[in-house]
Structure 1
Amino acid sequence: MDDASTLHLQAIAAANANDYPLTLALADRARRLTSDRDLLDRIDITASRAVAETRGSAEAVAMCERVLARPDALPVTVGLARSQLGMLHMHNADGSAAMHNFEAALTTLQGHPLHLGRVFVNRGMLHLQQGDPNSAAGDFEAAVANFDLTDDLEVRAKAVFNLGYSHLLRNDLVAAIQNMDAASEVLARLSPVSRAIVQQDRAEVLVASGRTREAIDALEDAAAAYGSERVRRYQAECEFVLARTLLAEDPRRARTVARSAARRFRKHGSEPWALRADAIALIATIEGGSRSAALLATADELVSALRQGGHRLEAERLALHAARVLVRRGQLQDATERLARIRVTADSPITTQLLAREIQAELAAARGDNQETRDEARQGLQELHSWQATFGSLDLQSSSVGHGQHLARLGLRAALEDGRPEVVFEWSERARALASKVTTLRPPPDPQLASDLTALRLLDPGETAKARALRERIRSKSWYAAQGSVGEPATLDVLQVRLEKDHAALVAHVVVGDAVTALVVTGDQAHVVPLDGATLVRDQLDRIAADLDFAAHNPGGSFGETVRASLDEDLAAVADELVTPLLDLVGDRRLVLTPSALLAGTPWTLLPGLKGRPLTVPTSATRWLELRERGEPTLERIGLVAGPRVERACEEVDRAAAEWPSTDVLNGDDANSAKVAEVAARVDVLHLAGHGVHAGDHPLFSAVELADGPWFGHDIDLLSQTPSVVVLSACELGQVSVLRGEESVGMTAAWLHAGARTVLSSPALVADDVACEALAHWHRLVAAGSAPADALAEVVAESDGVVPFLCFGAGW
C-alpha cells in the first residue's frame, strides 16, 4: 500500500499533467495517511492548484494563506506556498500580488533548483501576461538552467516551450518554432490537457506566420479537449486566443467566441481576463463595420481598465481600433490626437506595428494626402520585410505576407490615384510579390529533414495519420531555413536602361478591387493604362483552365475541335481585355510580365498578340533585373529524368538528350529521389518528365512522381546547388496556389526561391504527345544557343497543338 509521501508525489505528477480530478483524489488519500504537519502543508499546496481549476480560486488562495499563517512552517514549504499563491494570483490577473509572491519564493527557495526553476517558469508567464517578453525570456532561460541541475525532463520541456512562446512575442518566429518543437513531443505525452496546451500555443505561431485557417482548426480542437477534461479556465483562455485569431477571418464569430470566453472567466472569478475578452469582442464589433459614438465610449473605458490592469498590449490594440472608428466617422483631428497618445515601439508585436501603420495610412487617405498614405504604407511594409528577413523559409515568407496585404492595397490605391508611372511602378513592385523582397541564403544540410521526406515518400497511402504528422514535422523543419536580406525595389530609370538593351517592355497588370490597370514600360516611355474589370477576366480564365485541361485529355475528334474553338474564343476575349489595348505601346518587343496574383494561371503564351512573342514572368521586375545583371549562364551539363507511368516520358527525355553533346539520363529504377537529387545538384539544365501532383493546401508538398515515390518541393531545399534552368514537364506542377496576401506558391516558385534562374512550366495540363514534341523542339533550339524564352516563343508559334508552357524568372 502506498504511504502518504508516495501519494503526494503521485498527486504532484497528476497536477503537472493537468489531471486535476486525480490530483484531488490522491491528495485526499495522502491526508488520511499522515499527521506530519509539513507534509500536510505540502499536500494542501499541491491540491490548491487543482482546487482552483475545479472549484474556484478563492478556496485555493485560502489554502495557501493558511500555510503561510503557520509560524512554525518550514522555510522551503513557505517558499512553495508563496510560489503557488503567486500562480493563483497570476491566473486571476492580479499581477502585483503575483509578482510579490514570486519574488518572495525566489528568495526563500535558494539552493533548491527544481523548486526555483518552477518559480522562474511561473514568473516568466506573469511577464508574458504583462506584455514583457524580454523579461519572460530571461526567466525561462533561468528556469532551464536550474532544471539542467535536476533529472526532471518534463518540467525542463515546459520551460523550453515557454521560452519559445516568449520568442514569438519578441517577433523571433524561427526561435519560437525551434524551442516549441524541441519541447512539444515530451509535453504532448503527459496528458490530453498538456497536448491541448501545446496545440494552443503552436496555433499562435501559425497565426503569426499567416496560417490562420490552420490555427483556427488547432484552437478549436484544443478548446474541445479542455472542455472534455472540464478545465474551464484553460478552455476560456483558448477561446480568448481563438476569438483573437478569428478577427480577420470572421468578426461576427470572433465576437461570439470572445463573449463566451468572458462569461467563463467571470464564472471563474477572473475579471481582468474577462476584460481582455471584452476587448476582443469590441474589436470584432469594430471590424464588423460598427462606428457608433457609444462604441467609442465603451472602448475608452476598456482601454483605461486594461492599462490599469497592466495589459498594455491589449490596451494599445484596442486604442488603435478606436482611432480607426474615428477615421471612419470623419473625425480626423480626434483620430490624430488619439494616435499620438498610443505607444507603439519596435518591441511591440509585429502585428501591432503594422496595425498602427495601417491606421495612420487610412487617416492620411481620408485627408486626401496620397504622399503621406504611401509613406506610412511604405514604412509598414519595410517593417514587415525586416521581420521576414529573420527567416528564410519560402513557406513562412509566402504565408506571412498576409500581414502586409492591407498596407500594400492602401499604397497601391494611392499610387494609382497619383497616376505617375514611376510611382505606380514602385507600388506594383511593393505590392505584387511581398515575399520575393527577401533574398534567402541556402539553408545548411538537414539530415532529419531528408529522413522525414524519405519516410513520407515510402509511406503507405492508407497511413493518413502518420502522413499528417510527417508533413507537419517537415514544414516545421523547413521553417528553420537561414535568414535572408531585404532589398528595395529597382527604380523606373534603372529598369528602362535594361529594357532598352534587351529590346523589351515591362507590362505590370495591377488589380485593386475590381479594377485592372496596366503599367507599360519601354526603354524610353512609360504609360498607365486602365483596363476592364477583374471579375470578368477571372471568370474567363476559369473557363480557359477547364478547356485547357479537357483539350489535354481529348486532343482530337469533333468534340476536341469544339473545345478548341471554345478555348480560342475565350483566349481572344482575355487578350482583348489584357493585351490588345497595350500592343501599340509594346510594339514588337520581348515582354517581361509581372501580373497580379489574381491573374495566376493565365496562359500568356497562347493569348493573341503574345503568341510567338518571347516573354518571361519573374516574381518581380526587381528580381528580373538582378538575374539579368548576372549575365546569361552557360548551359553545358544537362540532366533529364523520366518518371514512371508517363507513356512518352522516356521518348521525351531521349529526344531531348539527342540535342546535346552529353547528358545524364535517368529512367526506370534509376529515376529515384537520391539519384535525381545528385544529378540536380550538378547540372545546368534539369528536365523532369513525370506525373505531378499540385498540393493546393500546402503547395511545397507538390511533387513529381519518381521510381521510389514523390519528390517534393521541400526536397529542393536539400540540394547543395540549384540548376540554372528547370523544365517541369509534369501535369499539375506548373500550377500555383494563391495564399492569403495574394502570394503565389507552387513548385515553380520553390525552384525560383531556391535559386533557379529560369523555370519552364505550364499552368495547365499538357497532352503527353504535345509535351514530347514541343520540348524536344525547345531543347534543339536552346542547345543551338537560343535563350529559353526565345526558344519557347518559336515552339509555340510553330506547334499545331496547345502549348501553354511559360518561362518564369529570367527567360533570357
Structure 2
Amino acid sequence: MWPAPARTTIRYVTAGSDSVLELLPKVFAAPGEALAGAEEVLGADPSPLHASVAHQVIGIWQRDFGDLRLALDHLRRARDLAARADSAEREADVLGTLGVALVHAGRTRQGLAAFERGVARTTGHTRARVMYRRAYVWWVLGHHREALEDVRRAIPVLRQADDVIWTARALTLRATVHLALGAVERADADFTAAEALWDTTGQEHDKADAVESRGLAAFRAGDIPAALRLLDEAEERYAKLGTPTFMLDIRRCEVLMAAGLAPEALAEADAAIGVLDEIGGQSTRKAELLLVAARAARLAGDPHTAIARAALAVRLFAGQRRTWWETHARLVLIEARLATGRASGRLVADAAGVADRLASFGAPAAPEAALLAGRIALALGWRADAERHLGTAARSRHAGPPLARMTGWAAQALRAQAAGSGRGVLEACRRGLDVLDDHRTTLGASELRARATAQGAELAALAQRVSLDSGGPRRLLVWSERWRATVLTAPPTRPPADPVLQSRLTAFREIADRAEKARMEGHPVLTLEREQRRLEREIRSRTLHMRGEEPGDGDRFDPGRLLARLGDDTRLVELAVVDGRVQVLLCGQGRVRRFEAGLLADAEIEAEHIQAGLRRLAHPGAEARLPVVEAAGRRLEELLLGPAADHLGSGPVVVVPPGRLHRVPWALLPALREKVLSVSPSATSWLRARETEPPPGGRQVLVRGPGLATGGAEVPELADRYGGTPTLLEHEAASVPRVLEELDGAALAHIAAHGTFRADSPLFSALRMSDGPLIVHDFERLDRSPYRIILSCCDTARFASVGADELLGLVTALLPLGTAGVVACTAPVNDEAVVPLMLALHKGLGAGLSLAQALRDARAAVPADAVHQATGWAFSAFGAA
C-alpha cells in the first residue's frame, strides 16, 4: 500500500474521550474492529466531538478500503461536527483526512484547499500531521519537491513530540518519494529508520505497508526476486487484515513487467480495476492501474489495448491535475501509437516534449522517453534530432539500475549505427548485454532468467545485423550465440530446502492425481482444478523468489573451441534469423560458412502443416497423408537449409534452430534423413553436453507410469534384456519421490509415461507417475540428472519459446543439470509403434552407439509403413551423448 494518511492519535481531548480516540490508530492496526467501534459510538448518542471522531474513522475506512463517495460523506460530517465542538485541532485533523479523500476522488483543487485551511487552523504537533498528509498528496500528484519540503518540516516536530507512529509514516513517505526520484540509497536509509520504529508498535497495517515499501525499494535497486518475495509477504499481511491492496497491485505489476511477465501484469491490473470499480474506490488508483495496464499491454505486444488504457489514464490524470503521472501515461501512449503505425514528425515532437517534462521532474523514465524520440527521428532520417535525443538517453548507461543502463547502451548503439560505426554498435551492444547478463545472474528461477533476455533483444538484433553486413560468418555466429539459449549455459540455482515449497509440491501432486482420476471416471473436477491452480500459483511464486549467484565473467562462446570439437567429420548447423530471414551458419572442417535460406515466417507455417500431418499419421488408416508430409519436409528443407543442404558432408550433423522452430521433426528433412542427427538449443549448450563426463557405475533406471495404451510394453522387455542391473520402477513403486531418488546421478534412464505440455505454464509440464505428475520443478531439485534419458511418450520435446530466444520445457530443464543427451518426442505418436522403435534404440545403445546413432539406426530397423515412419520422425536426439 501507499504511505497511509489520516491515522492519528490526538492528545488535546479530555481523558474521558480516550477510548473513542483510540479508534483512529486502530483503523490501520485492526481495521474491522475500528469500523465496528465507530459504528457503535454513533449508535450511542455521542457528543459532537466523539461523533466527529467516529465519522472520521468510518471515512478513513471507506476511503482506503471501500466506497469513496461514502468516505466523503462521513468526512464532511466529521468536519462539521468538529466545528460544532469548537475544536480547532479536531477540525484541522479532519480537514487533513478530507483533503486526501478529495484528491483521491479526483477533486484536486478542493483537496488542496482543505489542506490550506487545515494548516491555517492549527499549530505544532497537529499541524505537522496535516503537513505529512499534504506531503502524501503531493506525492500522489507527482509534485515530489513539494512533498519533500512538507515532510522535511513535519518530521522534526513529530520526533520532538515522540510520536512514533507518525514519525515512521513520515519516514516511509520520504523514502517513497526518494524512490520516485531514483535516490535508492536515501530511500533505503529512511526505510531502515522507519522499520526500527514500526517494530515498537502494534500497527499491523502500517507494518504491512513497510514490507511493501521494502519490496518497492528492492525493485528500484534491480533485485526482482527480493521484490517479489516482499510484495508477496505484504499481500499475506494485508489478507489477514481483510484490506484491499490496490497500490500493492500496481507495484506488483511493475515488477512482473520488469521480470518479462507482461501478460500476467495486464491480467492482474485489469482484475484490480474491475474490483476498484465495483466498490466505488479511488479515482487516483484507477488512473494508476490504467497506466500499468497500458504499459503491460504494450510489452505484451497488444498496442491497441495499450492505446485504449493509456488514453483513458491521460484523461483521468489531467482531470486530477497530476502532471507527473499524465506525462508518464503520454509516454506509453506514444510508444503504443508507434507500434501500430509509421514514425512521424508529430511523434518525434511528442516524445521529445515528454522527455523534457520527465527530465524537469527528475523522473527516472526520462532517458526512456529520449531514446524513443531518438529512435523515431532516426527512422525518419532526421540525423541531427536523433543524435541530440539519443545523446541525452545515452547518459544513463553508466549509472542506475540495470534496465536503465541498458536503455543508455541501446541509445549509444543507435548513435553508432547512425554514424556508420559498426565497431561502435558492437561495443555498445556488448556492454549493454553484459549489464543484462549480470542482472540475469541475480535471478534464481530459470523462468525469470529466460524471460529477462527479452530486454536485450534489440541490442542482439543490432549486433547480428552489423555482423551480417560487415563482419563475416564467424562474427555472426558469435552474436547468434550471445543471446541464444543463454539460460542453459549454466546450471540453475538449486531450489532452497524450503519445507513450505515441498509441502505445496506434495499437495499439488495429490490434487492433480485426484483430478485426473475424477476426469477418467466422469466426475466433476471444477473444485479440484481450482485448488490445483491455487497450489500452482503458490509453487511458482516461491520459486520466483529464489536469488541467483553473484555476477561473474561467465563462459564466453569461442568459435575456435567449437570447431576443434567438431573435427573434420561433424557439422553444426546454426540457424540465425536476421530481419526475418534464416541465415545458415555451417560449422565444420575448421571454418564457418554462411548460406542464406528462406523466411522464418514461411518456415513456421510449413512446420505447423507437418505437425498436423504427423498427428494424423499417428492413427492407422491415414497412409495417404505420408506423401503430403514428405513433400512438406522438402519445402521446409528449402526454407531452413537452402544451399547449405548440399554441403553437410557424410558425418554427424548437429542442428541449432531458433527457439520458434524446435518442434520441427528434423529427421523428416531429406538431407538429414540418413544422418546421425542431434538437436541442440545452442552451440554452447552442445559443447557443454559434449564435454560432460558420464557418472561412475553406469547405473540404469527403467520407469513405467500408469495408464499407457501399451502398458509401457517395452519396459519389461528392456529389463530382461539388461539382465538384473537396471532399477525397475513400476506400479506403486513409480512414485515421484522414488523416481527422483533413482534418477539422480543415473547413467541411463528410460521413462515410459504419459507426458503433458503446459503452454500456459511450461514448468508445470509433466510426466505422470503413480502418485501424480512429475513436473519440471521436480527435475530442478536433482543434484545431477541422468547422463542419458529417453522419454518414450508424446510431446516431451515441446517447449515454450520465451524471452529473446529461450526455451522452457522438460528437455531444457534436464540439459543444464548434467544430462548430456535426451531422446524425446516432438509430436503425438502411436503408442504401439513406439515399442519397436524403443527396443531398437536400446539395442544400438547396448552396442556402444550414441543416442543420435542409435536413433538413426532404430528408424531404419522398424517396419516401413506410414505409422512407424511417422513415429520415427517424431523422435529427436537432443544434446551430444
* TM-score using structure 1 length: 0.92
* Mapped contact 2:229–2:545 kept (Cα < 8 A): yes
Consecutive unaligned residues of structure 2, counting only runs of 5 or more, are 1-39, 516-524
* Mapped contact 2:103–2:284 kept (Cα < 8 A): no
Paired residues for 1:139-218 under 5 Å: 139-188=190-239, 194-218=244-268
The residue type equivalent to 2:259 in the other structure is S
Deviation, structure 1 residue 614 = 2.2
Partner in structure 2 of residue 749 of structure 1: 812
Rounded Cα–Cα distance in structure 2 between residues aligned with 1:536 and 1:12: 60
Partner in structure 1 of residue 140 of structure 2: 91
1:522 maps onto 2:591 in alignment: no
Alignment coverage as a number of residue pairs: 803
1:724 maps onto 2:724 in alignment: no
1:480 maps onto 2:545 in alignment: yes
Paired residues for 1:182-331 under 5 Å: 182-188=233-239, 194-228=244-278, 229-248=280-299, 249-311=301-363, 313-331=364-382
1:130 maps onto 2:196 in alignment: no
1:796 maps onto 2:859 in alignment: yes
The residue type equivalent to 1:779 in the other structure is H
SS in 2 for 1:532: strand
Rounded Cα–Cα distance in structure 1 between residues aligned with 2:712 and 2:141: 69
Partner in structure 2 of residue 470 of structure 1: 535
- Structure 1 residues 10, 368: closer, same or farther in 2, change over 3 A? same
* Mapped contact 1:83–1:102 kept (Cα < 8 A): yes
- Structure 1 residues 439, 681: closer, same or farther in 2, change over 3 A? closer
Q: In structure 1, which of residues 587, 590, 614 is the aligned counterpart of residue 676 of structure 2?
A: 614
Rounded Cα–Cα distance in structure 2 between residues aligned with 1:296 and 1:564: 55
Identity score, percent:
27
* Mapped contact 2:391–2:415 kept (Cα < 8 A): no
Rounded Cα–Cα distance in structure 2 between residues aligned with 1:8 and 1:333: 58
* Mapped contact 1:495–1:625 kept (Cα < 8 A): yes
Question: What is the root-mean-square deviation of aligned Cα atoms in Å?
Answer: 2.7
The residue type equivalent to 2:757 in the other structure is H
Rounded Cα–Cα distance in structure 2 between residues aligned with 1:321 and 1:579: 37
1:569 maps onto 2:631 in alignment: yes
SS in 2 for 1:458: helix
Deviation readout 1:497-529 (Å, 9 max, x if unpaired): 11117x312111122234222111113332111
- Structure 1 residues 719, 433: closer, same or farther in 2, change over 3 A? closer
Rounded Cα–Cα distance in structure 2 between residues aligned with 1:358 and 1:22: 49
1:414 maps onto 2:462 in alignment: no
Deviation, structure 1 residue 473 = 1.9
Q: In structure 2, which of residues 736, 740, 755 is the aligned counterpart of residue 677 of structure 1?
A: 740
Rounded Cα–Cα distance in structure 2 between residues aligned with 1:406 and 1:435: 18
Deviation, structure 1 residue 216 = 1.4
* Mapped contact 1:402–1:740 kept (Cα < 8 A): yes
Q: In structure 2, which of residues 562, 569, 577 is the aligned counterpart of residue 495 of structure 1?
A: 562
- Structure 1 residues 264, 292: closer, same or farther in 2, change over 3 A? same
Rounded Cα–Cα distance in structure 1 between residues aligned with 2:772 and 2:472: 52
- Structure 1 residues 583, 741: closer, same or farther in 2, change over 3 A? closer
Paired residues for 1:52-131 under 5 Å: 52-54=103-105, 56-70=107-121, 73=123, 75-110=124-159, 111-131=162-182
Rounded Cα–Cα distance in structure 1 between residues aligned with 2:608 and 2:270: 34
* Mapped contact 1:615–1:811 kept (Cα < 8 A): no
* Mapped contact 2:855–2:877 kept (Cα < 8 A): no
Deviation, structure 1 residue 236 = 0.9
Partner in structure 1 of residue 706 of structure 2: 644
Partner in structure 2 of residue 694 of structure 1: 757
Partner in structure 2 of residue 507 of structure 1: 573
* Mapped contact 2:374–2:388 kept (Cα < 8 A): no
Q: In structure 1, which of residues 589, 601, 604 is the aligned counterpart of residue 651 of structure 2?
A: 589
- Structure 1 residues 646, 454: closer, same or farther in 2, change over 3 A? same
Deviation, structure 1 residue 419 = 5.5
SS in 2 for 1:683: coil
The residue type equivalent to 1:750 in the other structure is A
Rounded Cα–Cα distance in structure 1 between residues aligned with 2:553 and 2:716: 42
SS in 2 for 1:278: helix
Rounded Cα–Cα distance in structure 2 between residues aligned with 1:59 and 1:681: 67
Deviation, structure 1 residue 426 = 0.4
Deviation, structure 1 residue 98 = 0.9
Q: In structure 1, which of residues 640, 653, 656 is the aligned counterpart of residue 718 of structure 2?
A: 656
Q: In structure 2, which of residues 810, 818, 822 is the aligned counterpart of residue 759 of structure 1?
A: 822
Deviation readout 1:83-139 (Å, 9 max, x if unpaired): 111111222222222111112222122233322222122222212322333333333
The residue type equivalent to 2:526 in the other structure is G
Rounded Cα–Cα distance in structure 2 between residues aligned with 1:395 and 1:808: 24
Paired residues for 1:302-451 under 5 Å: 302-311=354-363, 313-342=364-393, 343-418=395-470, 420-437=472-489, 439-451=491-503
The residue type equivalent to 1:513 in the other structure is D
The residue type equivalent to 1:279 in the other structure is L
Rounded Cα–Cα distance in structure 2 between residues aligned with 1:281 and 1:536: 32
The residue type equivalent to 1:517 in the other structure is Q
Rounded Cα–Cα distance in structure 2 between residues aligned with 1:424 and 1:297: 36
Deviation readout 1:659-718 (Å, 9 max, x if unpaired): 334122222222222222222225332322111111111111111112222221122223
* Mapped contact 1:437–1:486 kept (Cα < 8 A): no
SS in 2 for 1:200: helix
SS in 1 for 2:664: coil
* Mapped contact 1:17–1:191 kept (Cα < 8 A): no
Deviation, structure 1 residue 782 = 2.3
Partner in structure 1 of residue 797 of structure 2: 734
* Mapped contact 1:300–1:319 kept (Cα < 8 A): yes
Of the structure 1 ranges 428-437 and 226-235, higher mean CA displacement relative to structure 2 is found in 428-437
- Structure 1 residues 283, 96: closer, same or farther in 2, change over 3 A? same
Rounded Cα–Cα distance in structure 2 between residues aligned with 1:781 and 1:122: 69
Of the structure 1 ranges 688-697 and 765-774, higher mean CA displacement relative to structure 2 is found in 765-774
SS in 1 for 2:526: coil
The residue type equivalent to 1:231 in the other structure is Q
The residue type equivalent to 1:424 in the other structure is L
- Structure 1 residues 578, 50: closer, same or farther in 2, change over 3 A? closer
